[in-house]
Amino acid sequence: MTIQQSIPAPPDAAQPAEAAARVTPMMEQYLEIKAANPGLLLFYRMGDFYELFFEDAEIASRALGIMLTKRGKHQGMDIPMCGVPVERSDDYLHRLIALGHRVAVCEQMEDPAAARARGNKSVVRRDVVRLVTPGTLTEDTLLDARTNNYLLAIARARASSGGDRIGLAWIDISTSEFIVTECGTGELAATLSRINPNEVIVTDALYGDPDLGPLLRELPAVTPLTRDVFDSATAERRLCDYFAVATMDGLSAMSRLEATAAAAAVTYIDRTQVGKRPPLSPPSREAAGTTMAIDPATRANLELTRTLSGERRGSLLDAIDRTVTPAGSRLLAQRLAAPLTDSGAIARRLDAIAAFVADSAARDDIRTTLRAAPDMSRALARLSVGRGGPRDIAGLRDGIFAAAAALARLQRLDDPPPEIIAVMDAMRCPSRELAREFERALADQLPLIKRDGGFVREGYEAALDEARNLRDASRLVVAAMQARYADETGVKGLKIRHNNVLGYFVEVTAQHGDRLMAPPLNAIFIHRQTLAGQIRFTTAELGEIEAKIANAGDRALGLELEIFERLCALAMTASEDLRAAAHAFAMLDVATALAKLAVDDNYVRPEVDTSLTFAIEGGRHPVVEQALKRDGQPFIANACDLSPVPPPYPPPQAGEGRVGAGQIWLITGPNMAGKSTFLRQNALIAILAQIGSFVPAARARIGIVDRLFSRVGAADDLARGRSTFMVEMVETAIILNQASERSLVILDEIGRGTATFDGLSIAWAAIEHLHESNRCRALFATHYHELTALSAKLPRLFNATVRVKEWQGDVVFLHEVLPGSADRSYGIQVARLAGLPAPVIARAKSVLAKLEAQDRGQTARALVDDLPLFAVPSRAAAEPAPPSEAEQLIEAVAALHPDEMSPREALEALYALKAKLPKTP
């Protein structure tokens, strides 16, 4: 979704021309602020409401379903208006942001009384204090606790030779994470789908680019920005400015292009936060090739973090997520989005999990501790931009204590692996004295917002206690006064109440009103308001008390807010330690959660190395297994081995130096037998292994997979809403062009979206190409049984089938994958199970019998015999093939000139030609 609008550079706003003398001073102010923030909805603070005017009001009232009213006139026309109460504004903001809108929040910057004091016509000073955009949120109410909220900046460096480079920088200001990387345009789609940003900024030029523009415009909340934001010449300076350093060298190593994207991101954050700078971690650089590349179609198809219908439930993430904290859940999602390609780093993660698999008591204790640990990184981020509340400070307090508790427990582990040692180091850092200070300062019950007051513990500061006593004493005086007034007037039900409009007032029911309004009581009670059932009064005495209470109350609140600021500043000085501890919590949560998963669901530690092995014994599908378990059904485990075949297959090819090339398994079998499940489970096992998790198998050995591809034939691909054969072919083309020996390719019924022979031919040629050119490890499921004949000619192609039993004309699915091939699809039996009418089933059977009589298998065998093995271009040997024997003969004959030959030369030439013929045995 794209909302075409721009975030303005600060002030120097154009004066709206029509803001002429006719408009009220307030409208003039409104129009000026509105003009300075084009494209954003303006929340204009008026008392207890944010009001929206003109077109904004129309948009918001439609989006939020709130009433559209009018307020005054502008150039003779009614001004449409709608408003949301400040107290509930988060909820409304959330809905507008979710719809892709951006909002400028404009506050009153002074007390209305101060404006009145300046003169009759003076307007309250107002200013925009923040731009609320999808990628720059910090509020818990606006964020999903379990997912990161990334703002992504995309910059491009043009190369004359075409190979443009893309720089990416993404920031989650709610957790301070800041990451940069660089990639080629070809990898952009995979990188974007891995980052999964909530808001994107790009240059105008990139946005309008004919090649990349369409991809970018599909992203959520994309804003094209002017070139200056992406100016590489000023990038370093802007970054230094943000981090308040003289050079970025000490903070982070970045390419110029990465720095450009990074600078654009911080500039945008600066603009949206209007002067407040949330602290960010120095940009960490993700080197190219350190993560497994998974393109968007594969991600969607494997349902990694969401199902095809867009839900978390039913995804791999949902199935493996046993974390107990939101930060842990976010980290797990991050890891799942970016499996590693460094076997050392993977082993370190696995070591941490293994430690908690081995020690269940430690695992349970740590998880109990973690459950009580709040989301410190988000609390910190809110405090840093002045949007935090007392509960955020309490969160830090509890977090520090939880870190101490976790540390104590971890110290009892024997021989902790390096990842856990790093966690322990981070937990040692935050000062416990800081937590004790927070504990001393904060009351037991805390309000959500600081302005409600009452969050500082009694006895923490003498001046505050004094102000509170005064306020409370005055409240007692009011209570006494009520009793006295009731007595004096003889009205038992007389009450002294308080509201924001009248302040303190005396209230009696209507029937007693007359008594108070008649002499002598009317000398004391001054009538203020008559309601349907009640009449309200004030007295001079009450007015005095009210002022006292207000003063004491204001003073108490003022002191509390001062204390809050002090605590906040304390937290900020420790923010780096706190963030490190927060990250350590997340790592610990993920390690213990994956350990729990491994124990509960019987996963094993995979052996991951740099070979091209792919050997799974007793593999299971993590999601299907859980679903079956809920129904009390067993999952049938299956082995899969795509490792390079030991010599003599493949025969070493001269000069190539490539000994390894993976196997391709061609899986045939009836509908519903479990082909797709088998294919996916192996891809998921590879992903789990490379995020450093245990895997659902009896044993797994995996040589690092650099890229994972997964495609589903058009007919299965309904959820994507554009399940055309064309899409399928585009995706297949990507695989055939890009998969390398290190890749893992999953093809599920490719070629199904077209006529049978078309599809069969494409599948046939694709397999040959995968075998000869890509040489990757691959799984290929198909209903084209003709393809199984290929294994006779392709040495690394193996046929496997999913076993079924036929019983009294029905099929029984055994879900067992075995060597061999299926001779039929049992489609008609499945159709019968599905309840197709009996006559249709009978007719289908007879048609099938006729078709089978024509024996398509015959054709296949004939095709295999003239398999053009050497016509498939091999990637390494791209040079033209040497001329064949026939071509050599033709050449030799063409070179002869009989007229110029002696009989003897002619005879010799004849012998020479004869020698060129292939030897016959």
* Binding window for ligand ADP (CB under 6 A); candidates: 240-248, 526-534, 666-674, 856-864: 666-674
User: Does residue 747 touch ligand ADP according to CB under 6 A?
Assistant: no
Residue 676 in contact with ligand ADP, rule: CB under 6 A: yes
Measured from the CB of residue 628, what is the shortest distance to ligand ADP in angstroms?
6
Give whichever of 37 and 676 is closer to Mg ion, judged by the CB atom: 676
**Nearest approach, Cβ of 314 to Mg ion (angstroms)?**
17
Task: Please state the closest distance from residue 748 (CB atom) to Mg ion, in A.
Answer: 6
Residue nearest to ligand ADP (CB): 674
- How many residues in the shown chain lie near ligand ADP by CB under 6 A? 14
Q: Which is closer to ligand ADP, CB of 126 or CB of 803?
A: 803
Structural tokens at position 491: 């009205």
CB of 674 to ligand ADP, least distance (A): 3
**Angle at CA of residue 711, ends 709 and 713, nearest 5°:** 165
Nearer to ligand ADP, 8 or 674 (CB): 674
Is there binding between residue 175 and ligand ADP (CB under 6 A)? no
* Site membership for ligand ADP, residue 673 (CB under 6 A): yes
Q: Write a three-state SS string for 110-124.
A: CCHHHHHHHCCCCCC
Binding partner of residue 673 among Mg ion, ligand ADP, none, CB under 5 to 8 Å per kind?
ligand ADP
Q: With respect to ligand ADP, which residue has the nearer C-beta, 591 or 624?
A: 624
Check residue 212 for interaction with ligand ADP (CB under 6 A).
no
Q: Does 624 bind ligand ADP (CB under 6 A)?
A: yes
In the list ligand ADP, Mg ion, none, the entry touching 201 (Cβ below 5 to 8 angstroms by class) is: none
d(CA 228, CA 226): 6
Judge whether 737 and 725 are in contact, CB under 8 Å. Answer: no
Q: What is the phi-psi region of residue 882: left when phi exceeds 0, alpha when psi lies from -120 to 50, beta otherwise?
A: beta
The residue (of 132 and 817) whose beta carbon lies closer to ligand ADP is 817
Q: How far is the CB of 173 from ligand ADP (least distance, A)?
A: 42
Query: For Mg ion, which residue has the nearest CB?
Result: 676
- What residues contact residue 259 under an 8 Å CB cut-off, 6+ apart? 167, 180, 232, 235, 236, 239, 248
φ, ψ for residue 696, nearest 5 deg: -75, 85
Establish if 801 lies at the interface with Mg ion (CB under 5 A): no
Distance in Å, CB of 422 to ligand ADP, minimum: 39
How far is CA 324 from each of CA 366, 600, 843, 868, rounded to the nearest angstrom? 10, 16, 57, 57
74 binds ligand ADP (CB under 6 A): no
815 is a site residue for ligand ADP (CB under 6 A): yes
Q: Does 468 bind ligand ADP (CB under 6 A)?
A: no
**Could you write out the DSSP letters of every residue in 689-729?**
HHTT--BSSSEEEEE--SEEEEEE-GGG-GGGS---HHHHH
In the range 668-727, which residues lie near Mg ion by CB under 5 A?
Answer: 676
613 binds Mg ion (CB under 5 A): no
Asked if residues 497 and 504 have their Cβ atoms less than 8 Å apart, the reply is yes
752 binds ligand ADP (CB under 6 A): no
Token pair for 184: 């080629």
**Least separation, in Å, of the C-beta of 419 and Mg ion?**
39
Cβ nearer to ligand ADP, comparing 608 with 811: 811
In the bound state with ligand ADP, the residue whose beta carbon lies nearer, of 175 and 710, is: 710
Spatial distance between the Cα atoms of 350 and 621, rounded to a whole number of angstroms: 20
Return the DSSP state at 53. Answer: E
677 is a contact residue toward ligand ADP (CB under 6 A): yes
Q: Does 635 bind ligand ADP (CB under 6 A)?
A: yes
Rounded to a whole number, what is the distance in angstroms from the first to the last CA of the chain? 70
Q: How many residues bind Mg ion (CB under 5 A)?
A: 1
Taking CB under 6 A as the rule, does residue 674 contact ligand ADP?
yes
Residue type, 641: D
Phi, psi (rounded to 5 degrees) for 647:
-50, 155
Quote helix, strand, coil % in the chain, to nearest 5.
Answer: 50, 20, 35
Query: Within a 10 A sphere around the Cβ of 172, how many other Cβ atoms?
Result: 28
Closer to Mg ion at the Cβ: 63 or 719?
A: 719
Place of tokens 């003889």: 490
- Cα–Cα distance between 845 and 897 in angstroms, integer? 67
Site string for Mg ion, 871-900 (x = CB under 5 A): ------------------------------
Residue 782 in the binding site for ligand ADP (CB under 6 A): no
Distance between CA atoms of residues 26 and 28, nearest Å: 5
CA 80/CA 243 separation, integer angstroms = 44
Do 720 and 754 touch, CB atoms closer than 8 A? no
Partner touching 339 among Mg ion, ligand ADP, none, CB below 5 to 8 Å by kind: none
Measured distance CA(149)–CA(381) in Å, rounded: 13
Binding flags for ligand ADP, 365-404, as an x/- string (CB under 6 A):
----------------------------------------
Q: To the nearest whole angstrom, how small is the minimum distance from the Cβ of residue 633 to ligand ADP?
A: 7
Other C-beta atoms lying within 10 Å of the C-beta of residue 867:
16
Could you tell which of ligand ADP, Mg ion, none binds residue 644, using a CB distance below 5 to 8 A set by kind? none
Quick check: 645 and 651 in contact, CB under 8 A? Answer: no
Of 671, 693, 732, 774, the residue at the interface with ligand ADP (CB under 6 A) is: 671
Which residues contact Mg ion (rule: CB under 5 A)? Answer: 676
Which residues contact ligand ADP (rule: CB under 6 A)? Answer: 624, 628, 635-636, 638, 669, 671-677, 815
